[in-house]
Amino acid sequence: MSELLEFLRQLFTDPFGLLDIPVREWVTDAVNWIVRTFRDFFRSYVSPPVRGVMELFQWALSSVPPLVFLALAYVIAWRAASWRVAAFTVIAFTFIGFMGVWDQMIITLSLIATAVFFCILIGLPIGILCSRSDWFYTVVRPVLDIMQTTPPFVYLIPAVMLFSIGNVPGLIATIIFAMPPMIRLTNLGIRQVETQYIEAAVAFGSTPREILWKVQVPLALPTIMAGINQTIMLSLSMVVIAAIIGAGGLGLEVYAGLERLNIGQAFVGGIAIVLLAMVLDRVTQGLGEKGPASRAKRSE
């Protein structure tokens, strides 16, 4: 009788003490198991290509003399957007150089280029698949939500356990965090293509593949470019976090500055990141607006 009373009392005052779901242990065990089982696989098959691409970008970017780099940046920004953007680009890069963080900027730029490269490589096909199969999209969607909303700090540790510290785990975390918009916007862009164009393609006997590559993807390009733009922005936002687990560049500048309470150093890194973000944003946006498909859209 008193046991029953005791139970009722607890049910009232502390119902959640009655049962303990050991998610903590489960996750710890699962991560340990994954790390044990797949560490070798990841270190020998995932790390090398990521590191390889990263080093390639870094080599290419750092072997260009700064003045040539500025000239190239001007031409690219001018072709992609406008002479205003081009002028801003050159001023921003020059300022970064005079602040003394040119080399760090080159490292960050190659980190971002690598992350974006893999986001497109993986995200574009997944996005296309999502647009063609409702079933597949319903499966992928919650995964994207998880990737986007889980605080990156949570998967930094497993990333380190799998890849040890350095640029690679930072890149992996960045790729996971920055890929969702690529997938979402590719899917959205393709689904948004007006049926009249699909019908016209069908009426001339196009195969599904021809419809995809000749009509859907080109018409979705402005939206896909918006996805790439967002991916770049998200990659930049991961720069500091990636520095915590050993990635270099401007992020490290900020992180190290904060750790040593050197506010000036942290600010220089921060300003350089913001400038880089603005340049990349304007240039990729310009790129998205330049294609014939988006020109047509604007004049409608």
Partner 1 sequence: MIRAEGITKIFGPDGQSILPLLEQGMTKDEIQAETGHVVGVRDANFEIEAGEVFCIMGLSGSGKSTLIRCINRLIEPTAGRIFLNDGESGEREITAMDDGELRELRKRDMSMVFQHFALFPHRTVLANTVYGLEIQRRNAEESLQIGRRVLDMVGLGGWEESYPHELSGGMQQRVGLARALATEARVLLMDEPFSALDPLIKVNMQQELVRIQKDLERTILFITHDLDEAMRIGDQIAIMDAGEVVQIGNPEEILINPKTEYVANFVEHADPTGVLTAGTIALRFDEDQFKRVDDSGDLIYYVRRSDPEGARFGVDRDQRLRAVVPAGHRESVELVGLDDIAERAADETSDGGRRDDLALRCDEQAVLRTVLKGRSCSTVPTVVTDADGRLLGIIDEPELIRGILDKKGHGEQADSNGAGVEPASGGESKP
> Residue numbers of the site for partner 1 (CB under 8 A)?
196-197, 199-207, 210, 214-215, 218-219, 221, 291-293, 295-297, 299-300
Q: How far apart are CA 259 and CA 155, in angstroms?
A: 22
Q: Minimum distance between the CB of residue 295 and partner 1, rounded to whole angstroms?
A: 7
Judged by CB, which is closer to partner 1: 22, or 205? Answer: 205
Nearest approach, Cβ of 210 to partner 1 (angstroms)?
Answer: 6
DSSP 43: I
The one-letter amino acid at 265: Q
Q: Which helix (H) or strand (E) holds 212?
A: none
Burial class (CB in 10 A: 0-12, 13-18, 19+), 20: exposed
Tokens of 33: 């198991």
Read off the amino acid at residue 20: D
Give the residue with the Cβ less far from partner 1, 43 or 191: 191
Q: Minimal CA–CA distance to 144: which of 111, 107, 188?
A: 188
Give 206 or 285: the residue with its C-beta nearer to partner 1: 206
260 or 297: CB nearest partner 1: 297
Residue whose CB is less far from partner 1, 73 or 215: 215
Kindly tell me which of 36 and 297 has the beta carbon lying closer to partner 1: 297
Read off the DSSP letter of residue 281. H
In 3-state terms the chain splits into helix, strand, coil percentages (rounded to 5) of 85, 0, 15
How far, rounded to the nearest angstrom, does the alpha carbon of residue 79 sit from its chain's CA centroid? 25
Radius of gyration of the chain (CA): 24
State in angstroms the smallest separation of the CB of 298 from partner 1.
Answer: 9
Nearest-approach distance from CB 227 to partner 1, in angstroms:
18
Shortest Å distance, C-beta 197 to partner 1 = 6
User: Is the Cβ–Cβ distance between 109 and 61 less than 8 Å?
Assistant: yes
- CB of residue 183 to partner 1, shortest distance in Å: 22
